[in-house]
Amino acid sequence: MPRVGDGRSVTRSVLQQRLVDGLELCRRVLAQAPQSGFVESEFVPGPAAQTDAKLLAFARQTGGTVFHPTSTCKMGLDPLSVVGRRRDGVPAQ
């Protein structure tokens, strides 16, 4: 079964619409001042991608995932721990 976050295997309609909405939101934000002053033209997905189907095709072709490792800080109450048993920060001493 494909990973949900893999842009090339998006099959759920809600996730598909979120991808399209996100691309359209980016366009709206970059079309407004002051950002518009820094944009010469849209490079990708490009001005030809105006329909939901074309935006979704772009997302499928270029999308991917980014994995963010978690739980890499030592937990406990010893001097090397940065997170306590209740996952709260341990004050520096």
Query: Which residues form the catalytic set?
Result: 68
The conformation of residue 37, written as its DSSP 8-state character, comes to: G
Q: CB–CB of 74/83 below 8 Å?
A: yes
Q: For the chain, what is the total number of helices (H) and then of strands (E)?
A: 2, 0
The alpha carbon of residue 21 and the mean position of all alpha carbons in its chain are separated, in whole angstroms, by 13
The conformation of residue 13, written as its DSSP 8-state character, comes to: H
Q: CB–CB of 59/23 below 8 Å?
A: yes
